[in-house]
Amino acid sequence: MSDSDNSEPEPAAEAAGYFCFSRRAFLRAAGAGACAACAGRLGDAAAQAEAPRPQTAVHDAMWYERLPDKAVRCQLCPRECIVADVERGYCGVRENRGGDYKTLVYGALCTLNIDPIEKKPLFHYVPGTTALSVATAGCNMECKFCQNWNVSQYRPEQVESNLVPPENLVRIAVTRKCPTIAYTYTEPVVFAEYVHDTAAEGRKQNVGSVMISNGYIREPALRDLCRHLTAVKVDLKAFTEKFYAEQCAGKLAPVLATLEVLKDIGIHTEIVVLIIPTLNDSAEEITSMAKWLVSHVGPDVPVHFSRFHPIYRMKNLPPTPVETLDRARKVSMDAGLRYVYVGNVPFHAGESTYCPSCGKVLIKRVGYNVDASGLRAGACRGCGQKIPGVWSQEDALAFKSREKSEPKPPAAP
């Protein structure tokens, strides 16, 4: 799931003047008479034990393969869970029901907020606008430093949620004048069917869709989603397999593959790296990562180095020193990355965008306040340097994913 798009969003959002939905407003806005909330609000155990539970948001899964004995192999993420009848995959939100694989969280939103797009963070994507930000329960990793573990590491029946069908969510975005829907907070890959359908519906209503993801997804599913998405942010949690194995219950290689596929698709992509003291903060590792990004994704991909705060299963480490983030930013830029930011450090100069040619401030950011007056038509107002990004809603909606590139022939000896 996303490290950077911190859930607990209500106070921050309200403080910044952004809107978050109360439970009542959530229900009213969603138009969801059908409440898919989990058990638990009906009073005592007696009442609960005897009350029938409402149906969860069950929907056919899109990416899986049937196996003998009514088992299935999930084809959504690199885990490729083999799931026996009545069991669930690692994510906890996909269940085998008699040989048919189902997602249990289609539209079962546990979070619905309006956030600044910078909070995702997406700094080169229609700056200064808002994103209707949603999540369901579940994740296909288990990061020990997860900021949103109290939804991402839960099963759908363990969190309160409400059914919001795709067309309703798009309607909310239009009504609330949000040009973008962000699938975020937890891990959108695990509710990919909903992302797919909602993003497609959104495009019909001129609403873009951005996925804030750990990038742990198989290529076919990613390509299917990107036919409708308008941007993706990937958490690159470290640059070693050891870190992914020990801290995230995942693997690095599939995430790197995702970044290459995104490059091939051509969709706007930004990357967040949560820097954790002693675990992934060495200059050598950051340099290696930056060099890989330059050579495989390109020097223009925006990279955000975010500050870690102790939480969940990683409370034994201190917050990241700002100097460590500064060093990460410097060595990355030395390695060739052009747009490198510091995150989770308010008022830091590294929040702003600078022209790589003349050094002028293009987009000044202080918290979620944005002044993009240094940018004109996607170029530096001072020297005219073209700045990569998606700078208007029209550009966002104009994006069409490229089909898979043919493998390059081997180079001649």
The whole-angstrom separation of Cα 338 and Cα 332 is 8
Using CB under 8 A as the binding rule, whether residue 89 contacts another protein is answered as yes
Closer Cβ to another protein, 251 or 263, answer by number? 251
- Provide the mask over 113-142, with x wherever binding to another protein is found by CB under 8 A and - wherever it is not: -----------------------------x
Closer to another protein by Cβ: residue 157 or 351:
157
When asked if residue 150 is in the footprint of another protein (CB under 8 A), the reply is: yes
Paired residues of 413 in beta bridges: none
Q: Is 48 in the site for another protein (CB under 8 A)?
A: yes
40 binds another protein (CB under 8 A): yes
Q: Is 153 in the site for another protein (CB under 8 A)?
A: yes
Min dist. Cβ of residue 267 to another protein (A): 30
User: Which of residues 12, 27, 34, 39 is near another protein by CB under 8 A?
Assistant: 39
Taking the C-alpha atoms of residue 152 and residue 148, their distance in angstroms, rounded to an integer, is 6
Beta pairing partners, 375: 380
Q: Which stretch binds another protein (CB under 8 A): 37-45, 109-117, 163-171, 338-346?
A: 37-45
| Comparison of 45 and 411: residue with beta carbon closer to another protein | 45
44 binds another protein per the rule CB under 8 A: yes
Of 63, 101, 154, 305, which one interacts with another protein (CB under 8 A)? Answer: 154
CB of 158 vs another protein, minimal distance in Å: 3
Helix-strand-coil split of the chain, %, nearest 5: 30, 20, 45
The per-type count for the chain, helices as H runs and strands as E runs, is: 12, 21
91 three-state secondary structure: coil
Binding residue (CB under 8 A) for another protein from 29, 38, 221, 297 = 38
d(CA 2, CA 143): 10
Instruction: Return the number of the residue (70 or 291) whose C-beta is nearest another protein.
Output: 70
Q: Which two three-digit tokens encode residue 272?
A: 């967040």
Tokens of 323: 């100097």
Pick the stretch among 58-66, 88-96, 207-215, 299-307 that binds another protein (CB under 8 A): 88-96
d(CA 245, CA 254): 12
Kindly write out the interface string for residues 176-215 of this chain, putting x where it contacts another protein by CB under 8 A and - elsewhere.
----------------------------------------
Q: Kindly compute the dihedral angle of the four CA atoms of residues 248, 254, 255, 258, in this order, to the nearest 10 degrees.
A: -150
What DSSP assignment string belongs to 27-70?
A: HHHHT--S--PPS--SSSHHHHHHSPPPPPB-EE-SSEEE-GGG
CB closer to another protein out of 42 and 372: 42
Widest Cα–Cα separation across the chain: 76
Both tokens assigned to 392: 């208007």
Spell out the residues 6+ positions from residue 300 whose beta carbon is closer than 8 angstroms to its own.
338, 339, 388
CB of 110 to another protein, least distance (A): 11
Tokens matching residue 390: 């998606």
Give the residue with the Cβ less far from another protein, 40 or 346: 40
Our CB check for another protein shows the closer of 89 and 188 to be 89
Site stretch for another protein (CB under 8 A), options 14-22, 25-33, 155-163, 234-242: 155-163
**323 binds another protein, rule: CB under 8 A:** no
Show contacts with another protein in window 248-307 (CB under 8 A): 249
Stretch near another protein under the rule CB under 8 A, chosen from 20-28, 78-86, 178-186, 339-347: 78-86
CA distance 391 to 136: 29
Element (H, E) at 65: strand 64-66
Q: Is the dihedral of CA 189, 399, 274, 130 positive or negative?
A: negative
Going from the C-alpha of 381 to that of each of 341, 342, 353, 372, the distances in angstroms are 20, 23, 13, 10
Residue 211: in which H helix or E strand, if any?
A: strand 208-213
Contacts of another protein in 58-77 (CB under 8 A): 69-71
Which positions lie near another protein, rule CB under 8 A? Answer: 38-50, 53, 69-71, 82, 84-92, 142, 144, 149-150, 153-155, 157-159, 249, 312-313
